[in-house]
């Protein structure tokens, strides 16, 4: 007798997995929701009759909201637990994003963007802490590279969908659709995230050279003791997020302001660039887990810097697409890398608090990127704004390459070097 195929074992396996439904599925849904708004925001801001500077401020306002609440979020998560923190944060971000569809002025739109940043800060840090609890050190780079790949799937599909929706229905409908896309993420988090998670048995604390071992709950002592690696990592993190966030402003602004492309073309351009990013998550994860974190991070930001420096030389859609694709390739090479560094450095006794600090450092750069683009374009020109982003990418590559110790560890906690990387990975 032929055995009937049943989906129940696969469904049970999905529900038991600590990462698929609570982490990866919401990541994809939220990435689609946020990616949908990327090509729309500059045009939406211009409907209020404001300058390039205010366009940059509105684009950066969500990042500013996260910046203001990263530290409180880290502390709140340790009290609420992962599930309640993720549900609360995602609900706030979703409602605030939907509110943009009915904003009557640039001031109201800025408030909604700030509030959405507050919500997504709480959600993002809780999600990162949840992942760090469950992830295996031996495959952390590949897991977070997959996370980065899913984000880039959203950045590929989302901008094209957002551009098409805006062209067909106006600049406000995409905000409603974005909120609707967050609903499946909210359900997955609410139904499948455990509050009382047990750290993976393979998880080992990272102890870098010159440190004094485990820190437990001595949070401020932790920051002082890890200053030797946190300072270069933090500076590099700021520059990295400046170019990463700034590119999502400079590319649409340059397309519209210098090349006179319509919103549908900009959505297509951003989507194709995101497609190039998507294919890089697998090599990025392999590099981080086998050759070291720096082997992926340093070339990533060097390539982005070159691509951004070439933007002012473009004269049409094809040239700007080539630059955007090069930037996307570089950014894809560091898929999940900043989160990997955060997880490597976060101590078991104070993960959410530490990751709040780590998010604050990155969001400082994420807030500055679009604002730098907007005000540099107002005061000087769009080409100068692009060159300022290129300098930020170069600074990130140099900081990570020269000053950051390698954070990938062997199973026994010793630093991993390039010459022994493959051998150590085979022993795990």
Q: What is the pLDDT of residue 423?
A: 29
pLDDT at res. 54? 81
Q: Residue 428's pLDDT is what?
A: 39
Cα separation, 68 vs 256, in Å, equals 31
C-beta atoms surrounding 319 within 10 Å:
14
- Residue 198, classed as helix, strand or coil, is coil
Strand partners, 409: 415
CA distance 245 to 389: 10
pTM of the model: 0.74
Concatenating the DSSP letter of every residue in 97-137 gives: HHHGGG--SHHHHHHHHHHHHHHHHHHHHHHHHHHHHH--G
User: Which pLDDT does position 379 carry in this prediction?
Assistant: 63
pLDDT at 257: 72
CB-facing half-sphere around the CA of 83: CA atoms within 13 A: 14
How far CA 204 is from CA of 9, 17, 111, 207, in Å, comes to 31, 20, 42, 9
Please report the pLDDT score of residue 310 as a whole number: 92
Give the pLDDT confidence score for residue 399 in this predicted structure: 92
Give the model's pLDDT for residue 226: 65
List % helix, strand, coil for the chain (3-state, nearest 5): 80, 0, 20
d(CA 359, CA 339): 9
Model pLDDT, residue 139: 74
Rounded CA-CA distance 83/392 in Å is: 36
Q: For Cα atoms 373, 379, 381, give the angle at the middle one, nearest 5 degrees.
A: 65
pLDDT of residue 74: 81
Q: What does the pLDDT look like over 60-90, one tens digit per residue?
A: 788 788 888 888 888 888 788 888 999 999 9
pLDDT of residue 103: 87
pLDDT in tens, 279-290: 888 888 889 988
Closest by CA to 195, choosing from 20, 22, 72, 42, is 22
Of the candidates 46, 63, 55, 78, which has an alpha carbon nearest to the alpha carbon of residue 349?
A: 78
Count Cβ neighbours within 10 Å for each residue of 278-317 and write b for 16 or more, e otherwise.
bebbeebbbbbbbbbbbbbbbbbbbbbbbbbbbbbebeee
Report mean pLDDT in 10-residue bins for the chain, 428 residues: 46 61 88 87 83 78 84 84 90 93 89 92 90 75 83 80 85 90 91 59 39 47 67 85 80 78 78 81 88 91 93 86 91 88 79 82 71 65 82 91 80 41 36
């Amino acid at each position: 007798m032929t055995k009937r195929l049943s989906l129940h074992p696969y469904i049970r396996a999905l529900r038991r997995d600590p990462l698929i439904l609570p982490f990866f599925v919401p990541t994809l849904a939220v990435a689609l929701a946020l990616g949908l708004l990327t090509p729309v925001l500059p045009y939406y801001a211009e409907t209020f009759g404001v300058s390039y500077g205010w366009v940059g401020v509105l684009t950066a306002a969500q990042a500013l909201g996260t910046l203001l609440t990263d530290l409180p979020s880290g502390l709140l998560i340790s009290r609420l637990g992962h599930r309640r923190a993720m549900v609360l944060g995602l609900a706030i971000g979703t409602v605030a994003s939907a509110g943009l569809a009915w904003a009557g002025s640039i001031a109201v739109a800025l408030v909604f963007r700030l509030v959405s940043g507050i919500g997504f800060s709480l959600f993002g840090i809780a999600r990162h802490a949840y992942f760090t609890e469950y992830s295996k050190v031996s495959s952390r780079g590949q897991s977070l590279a997959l996370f980065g790949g899913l984000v880039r799937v959203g950045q590929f599909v989302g901008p094209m969908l957002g551009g098409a929706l805006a062209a067909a229905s106006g600049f406000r409908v995409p905000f409603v659709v974005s909120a609707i896309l967050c609903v499946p993420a909210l359900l997955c988090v609410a139904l499948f995230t455990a509050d009382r998670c047990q750290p993976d048995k393979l998880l080992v604390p990272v102890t870098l050279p010159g440190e004094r071992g485990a820190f437990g709950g001595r949070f401020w002592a932790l920051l002082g003791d890890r200053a030797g690696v946190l300072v270069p990592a933090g500076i590099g993190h700021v520059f990295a997020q400046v170019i990463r966030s700034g590119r999502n402003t400079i590319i649409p602004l340059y397309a519209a302001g210098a090349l006179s492309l319509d919103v549908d073309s900009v959505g297509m351009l951003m989507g194709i660039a995101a497609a190039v990013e998507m294919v890089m998550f697998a090599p990025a994860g392999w590099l981080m887990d086998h050759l070291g974190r720096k082997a992926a991070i340093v070339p990533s930001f060097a390539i982005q810097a070159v691509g951004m420096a070439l933007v002012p030389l473009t004269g049409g859609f094809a040239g700007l697409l080539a630059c955007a694709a090069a930037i996307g390739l570089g950014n894809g090479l560091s898929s999940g890398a900043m989160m990997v560094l955060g997880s490597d450095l976060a101590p078991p006794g104070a993960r959410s608090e530490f990751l709040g600090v780590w998010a604050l450092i990155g969001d400082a750069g994420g807030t500055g990127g679009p604002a730098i683009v907007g005000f540099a374009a107002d005061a000087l020109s769009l080409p100068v704004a692009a060159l300022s982003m290129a300098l930020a990418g170069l600074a990130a590559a140099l900081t990570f390459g020269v000053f950051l110790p390698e954070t990938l560890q062997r199973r026994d906690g010793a630093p991993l070097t390039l010459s022994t990387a493959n051998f150590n990975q085979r022993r795990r």
